[in-house]
Amino acid sequence: MGKSKVLIIGGTGYLGKRLVKASLAEGHQTYVLSRPEVGLDIEKVEMLVSFKMLGAHLVPGSFTDYASLVQAVKLVDVVICAISGVHMRSYGILLQLSLVQAIKEAANVKRFLPSEFGTDPARAAKATEPGKVTFEDKMVVRKAIEEAGIPFTYVSANCFAGYFVGGLCQFGKIIPPTDSVLIHGDGNTKAIYVAEDDIATYTIKTIDDPRTLNKTLYIRPPLNILSQRQVVQIWEKLIGKELHKTTISKQDFLASMKSLDYAQQVGLCHYHDVLYEGCLTNFEIGEDGEEASTLYPQVKYTTVEEFLKHYV
């Protein structure tokens, strides 16, 4: 059996661009949806052209043109969607319902990976409002996929390292400080950090793997299951300096939401659930899941220390 042909939707996005490159690197014929709405966004156009130069096929299509989605889907075996889920930029999760319909109609797709790549929404029933909307919407998409009988893999990628590790797990920070750091609660709650390029690599590894068919792939690199204090310690060792630490209680952190806009509130809730409630590490993977670094030990994942070295 040859390698599956892959369509990536949201290919110029933060995660999407990595998925395109990882798919090409693994030798898959790779198709990238090219939306007319991109218009004069020269950076997106430049990126699409660069994908083409790497060997990808650009497929014209739009969420506002259902027939174009069906046509695009018919070209491939596997569809991966990395449409935006971050409210700061835009919010596309529920747009996937028409994509699910298109995949059902095309009836040729062997695997669909919807835009998830974070906390497992099936385990987010206790998520904090208003952040819970992300998980509720992702569950709406899951329900549509399963009702349509579409083969799937859900990727639970835990914390994107760029957002979380870059800012030493501080909400609203993406560059590591060299003077002081705000510690969430006692700072000892464990979370899981994964470099975005590794998320893409594991995602592409899984698409032709029967072991993850109709399952959730959890990415839990063992060396990257760390508390905020451990992440800070790694950084302190790298820069040879101890940071001044202040702590913020759960109550004060949640209260600080009042001054934020809706998109930021959603983000703050996610940080709360990860760093105070331990929502990523308070469960064992069950029968319906597999762990990526165990399935694909050949992938040399980026440790938090290696990731932080980029900022020194």
Identified binder of ligand NAP from the candidate list 22, 24, 157, 266, rule CB under 6 A: 157
Measured CA to CA, the distance from residue 262 to residue 202 in angstroms comes to: 32
Identified binder of ligand NAP from the candidate list 6, 7, 24, 95, rule CB under 6 A: 95
Cis peptide before 130 (omega within 30 of 0): yes
Measured CA to CA, the distance from residue 24 to residue 6 in angstroms comes to: 9
Both tokens of residue 252? 């004060």
30-34/6-9 β-pairing:
parallel
Q: Does 61 bind ligand NAP (CB under 6 A)?
A: no
- Active-site residue, 138 included: yes
257 to 276: interface string for ligand NAP, x by CB under 6 A: --------------------
Total residues contacting ligand NAP by CB under 6 A comes to 29
Identified binder of ligand NAP from the candidate list 21, 118, 219, 265, rule CB under 6 A: 118
Q: Does 216 bind ligand NAP (CB under 6 A)?
A: no
Contact in structure between 40 and 59 (CB atoms under 8 Å): no
Q: What's the closest the beta carbon of residue 302 comes to ligand NAP, in angstroms? A: 15
Distance of CA 187 to the CA centre of its chain: 24
Q: Which of 114, 125, 109, 113 is nearest to 75 (CA)?
A: 109
Bridge partners of residue 227, in order along the sequence: 190
Q: If you ran DSSP here, which 8-state letter would residue 10 be given?
A: S
Identified binder of ligand NAP from the candidate list 23, 29, 84, 227, rule CB under 6 A: 84
Q: Does 131 bind ligand NAP (CB under 6 A)?
A: no
Measured CA to CA, the distance from residue 77 to residue 164 in angstroms comes to: 33
Q: Does 13 bind ligand NAP (CB under 6 A)?
A: yes
In the complex with ligand NAP, the residue whose CB is nearer, 25 or 174, is: 174
Active-site positions?
138
- Binding-site ranges for ligand NAP (CB under 6 A): 10-16, 33, 35, 38, 44, 63, 82-86, 89-90, 92, 95, 115-118, 157, 159-160, 163
